[in-house]
Amino acid sequence: MISMGEQDAAGRYREAASILPSRLRAAALSLPEARQGVAEEIRLRVGRVMTVLLPDGETPTGEYVEAEDLETLCDIATEFSRYAAAETLREGFLSVRGGFRVGLCGTAVMKNGVNTNLKQFSSAVVRIGRERRDIAKDLAPQLFRDGRFVSTLLLSPPGGGKTTLLRDLIRQLSTGAGEYGPRRVALIDERGEIAVTVRGQAQMDVGPSTDVLDACPKAVGIPIVLRAMNPEIIAVDEITVPEDIRAVSMAAGCGVGLLATVHASGSSELSEKPLYRDLLERGIFRLAVRITRDGPSRRYEVEEL
């Protein structure tokens, strides 16, 4: 399988556009190639013009979206097998072969207070996932002390690049970071954004020693991988609720290293929010990586907590 990191950026955009119904696909591909290379999302809203999200905002394509277009999009994304994707569909997303993710809104089908399905789709977003291979190559060895990986938080505001960095850090740790050999990593990919697993196969490269538990809440998934996979490191996406903190505390008590992301501009902001203040007070994480923009690129600064 060709790695996503080996494909050009515009090529990734064209592959994402192939998920669209033919009329909308043609409109998406009419975008100049230079703009295709920096596109982040393709957004569809019933009754509105389809747009492409670029660094400077949403750009209209000129084609209006109809309800039938979203039905066709779901059929293509699930390879005409929605039943196989029912578990994530009810959560509002689909993982697509090639490393893409489709987010959906519509009418929730509620039963006993639980959402069991989505129907009558009203909007969709095709996220154009791109790997940034080796962005963590120099960073990963800095997260070890006395030969052991130190539990680390990745910090940035929304859209700052936490997921992209997390993915490559997992790959580096799983492959071997600098002088440190491969580590067994268990990834709890709750929202299917990191590995983008389709029918058991990760569409993104998360390394040869990584085990992925897909579409599972962190509080449920962490005990599962502790019992079943004997990980040296557990990686999770955004910590957002107290249950997440209790679960990572349990893992830390078992001697497992942890790698997680948090919405914060820096370590000082963590102490301003009760949830993250609790996280700091527990002493689970000793290091933080602050992600900052440096023009079009990003910088990664390691801080002691």
196 in the same domain as 106? no
Q: Which of 127, 161, 189 is the last residue in one of the domains?
A: 127
**CA-CA distance, 176 to 185, in Å (whole number)?**
11
Q: In what order do the strands lie in the sheet with 100-111?
A: 57-64, 49-54, 41-45, 114-127, 100-111, 93-96
Range of the domain at 111: 4-127
Q: Are residues 148 and 277 in the same domain?
A: yes
Last residue of a domain, one of 127, 150, 173: 127
210 or 191, which is more confident: 210
pLDDT of 1 above 70:
no
Contacts of 16-21 spanning 24+ positions with Cβ under 8 A: 16/42, 16/98, 16/100, 16/126, 16/128, 17/42, 19/73, 19/76, 19/77, 19/96, 19/100, 19/102, 19/126, 20/44, 20/69, 20/73, 20/76, 20/126, 21/68, 21/69, 21/72, 21/73, 21/76
Q: Residue range 200-222: average pLDDT?
A: 94
Residue 269, C-beta contacts closer than 8 angstroms, at least 6 positions apart: 155, 276
- CA-to-CA distance for 123 and 134, rounded, in angstroms? 34
Task: Decide if 132 is inside a domain.
Answer: no
- Split at pLDDT 50, 70, 90, the class of 296 is low
**For residue range 132-189, what is the model confidence (pLDDT) as tens digits?**
889 999 999 999 999 999 999 999 988 788 999 999 999 999 999 989 999 999 999 9
CATH number at residue 207: 3.40.50.300
- Predicted local confidence at residue 158, as pLDDT: 80
257 and 207 within one domain: yes
Shared domain check, 201 and 95:
no
* Pairwise CA distance, residues 290 & 115, whole Å: 36
The per-residue pLDDT for range 64-116, each reduced to its tens digit, is: 999 999 999 999 999 998 888 888 888 889 989 888 889 999 999 888 888 88
pTM of this structure: 0.82
**CA-based Rg of the chain, rounded to a whole angstrom?**
20
The DSSP letter of residue 180 is B
pLDDT score of 2: 37
- In a shared domain, residues 185 and 232: yes
pLDDT value at 220 more than 80: yes
Q: Is residue 91 part of a domain?
A: yes
Average pLDDT score, the chain: 91
Residue 169 lies in a domain: yes
In a shared domain, residues 174 and 75: no
Give the total number of structural domains in the chain.
Answer: 2
Cα separation values, 158 from 44, 66, 95, 164, Å: 21, 30, 21, 12
What's residue 265's pLDDT?
Answer: 85
Residues in the chain: 305
299 and 186 together in one domain? yes
| 8 and 85 inside one domain | yes
Same structural domain for residues 289 and 161? yes
**Do 115 and 146 lie in a common domain?**
no
Higher pLDDT residue, 296 or 195?
Answer: 195
**CATH assignment at residue 103:** 3.30.450.90
